[in-house]
Amino acid sequence: MSTIIETKDLTHRYGKLTAVKDISLEIEEGSIFGFIGPNGAGKTTTMRILATLLRPTSGNAWVGGCSVLEDPRGVRRQIGYMPDFFGVYDEMKVWEYLDFFGACYDIPASRRVGLVDDLLQLVDLSHRRNDYVDSLSRGMKQRLCLARTLAHDPQVLVLDEPASGLDPRARIEIRELLRELQAMGKTIFFSSHILLEVAEICTTIGIIEAGCLAAYGTLDEIQSHRRTRQVRVALSGRVEEALSLLQSTPAVLDVALNHQERRRHELVVQFSGDDSAQTSILTRLIQAGLPVIGFAETKAELEDVFMQVTKGIVS
């Protein structure tokens, strides 16, 4: 896979406020990148720079090899940008809205007819083509705005909070639509506060706080940023002996019995350190001759990782 979005030491200041500081990312073609962080973290500023709506104070960014500083027109040809607050023309019909934006991209009228039909079918709005935009629900307007970003067939979609304010059904529809767009070969860069959905569909994730990148990589790679980890140890007996042994083991922070009835012979072990620390825990149990029948690390939810790598501050 080749890199299609790259930022290097990307920095943007609003007066004395540093909204984005030294952000460096490489996003592969065809991937879904989830950008998460608290309000004021710098997500929107970063995305506006990628969309060439802001010039970075320092650093640079490239989309498809085109620099946002040196070739902004080249960048715009390759991206579809959907802001967090988007405007719609309420007195237009749905098909007219898409036809208008197709004309803005200099798409000939003869091609726009088929294009509008294809876009409406993609976002499941064909049955509302002749309705006025102001009659649509918020979720439908979100899908219509997403269709608008696709009018010129961009390879990269930059979507700022595409599921913001939607009900559960509408969020699921947007999520499935993003998967479908990825299957079509699109690269998607989107921000979200819905961490569970980010974990479900993203190939890579970036966590940003106070303008700085706190963690970046696949979900498995981000697991390594946790300050504490957890393993479950199942035994066929001698549980109290194992509990006592682990309480005196270096790197172990806490040991507790699993109180679920079906797992009454299982210990939950919180520890700090890397894989070698985990190995030493298992080694000590085996050397003591304890009957270990199961040993597995518990994968943390993205929410847990987020809480550990962030401090709750903004720029």
Q: What is the domain-level CATH number for residue 280?
A: 3.30.70.100
Rounded CA-CA distance 279/294 in Å is 14
Strand partners, 63: 5, 66
239 and 212 both lie in a single domain: no
Which of the four pLDDT bands, split at 50, 70 and 90, describes residue 4?
Answer: very high
pLDDT tens, residue by residue, 140-193: 998 999 999 999 999 999 999 888 778 888 888 888 999 999 999 999 999 987
Q: How many domains is the chain built from?
A: 2
Taking residues 43-57, report their average pLDDT: 96
Question: Is residue 65 pLDDT above 90, yes or no?
Answer: yes
- 267 and 218, same structural domain? no
Secondary structure element (H or E) that encloses residue 209, with its range: strand 204-209
pLDDT tens-digit readout, 257-300? 886 655 668 999 988 878 888 999 999 999 999 999 999 987 76
Report d(CA 50, CA 3) in Å as an integer.
15
Residue carrying structure tokens 């943390």: 300
167 is written with which tokens? 């009900």
Closest CA to 150 of 138, 139, 162: 162
Instruction: List the CATH number of the domain containing 211.
Output: 3.40.50.300
The answer to the question of residue 234 being in a domain is yes
258 lies in some domain: yes
Asked if residue 310 belongs to a domain, the reply is no
Conformational region of residue 15, where left means phi above 0, alpha means psi within -120 to 50, and beta covers everything else:
left
Instruction: Kindly state whether residues 92 and 238 are assigned to the same domain.
Output: no
Domain that holds residue 114: 3-223
